[in-house]
Copies of this chain bind each other. A is one copy, B any other.
Amino acid sequence: MPRKKQYDPEEVLQKAMHVFWKNGYRSTSLRLLEKELGINQFSIYSSFENKHTLFVKALKRYRKYMREGILQVLIRSDGDLEDIRRFFKTFVDTIQSAKSPSGCLIANTAAEIGSSDHEIHKVLKEYFDMMEKIFLELLKKSHQRGLLADDINLRRKAQYLVTCTEGLSLSSKVMERSYHNAFISAVMDSLEK
């Protein structure tokens, strides 16, 4: 009996992720979403409840997008520390590309919202935890291969790499490419045995 949806909610969510990524939460108006998603405001509300809920879903989508995308080089690594450099380089490419010159959505949101919104803060924290776990698994393998100092604190080093990643995202919005290459080299130096 019912009429069919003329759009795919999954595709729309993907588009919404990019719009929020580029403009931030507050600066993304429903008029802009309407235009970029190609669907009416009514449809946005009937499919995603409201702007806040849509944003939270977009944030979670970003986590999936990263996990299945550029984080794969870390996840599939056999412990080669150069994989970390490769990730950082791809990361800078991504966040500075003309396609999405908008840093990291998580970092942007952390700066914009922080912990003032409990639901959003929870997703941010989960992202940080995911990143820590990914780095930790890689470092464990590196450690087993003898690439790291014996007495190293792996968890601390993983947390260190997470904060370095977010710092990289932030400075990418201000400084030029050579600046980040220098940072990446400095971080890699600090990992050496």
**Which residues of A are at the interface with B, using a C-beta cutoff of 8 A?**
24, 26-27, 101-103, 107-108, 110-112, 114-115, 121, 124-125, 128, 153, 155-157, 159-160, 162-171, 173-175, 179-180, 182-183, 185-187, 189-190
Contacts and interface: CB of A to CB of B under 8 A. Distances in A.
Number of identical monomers bound together in the oligomeric complex: 2
Contact of A114 (B103, B124, B125): B103
Contacts of A24: 111-112
Give the secondary structure class of A's interface: helix
A153 B53 CA distance: 47
Contact of A174 (B121, B164, B171): B121
Nearest to A126: B174
Contacts of A165: 167
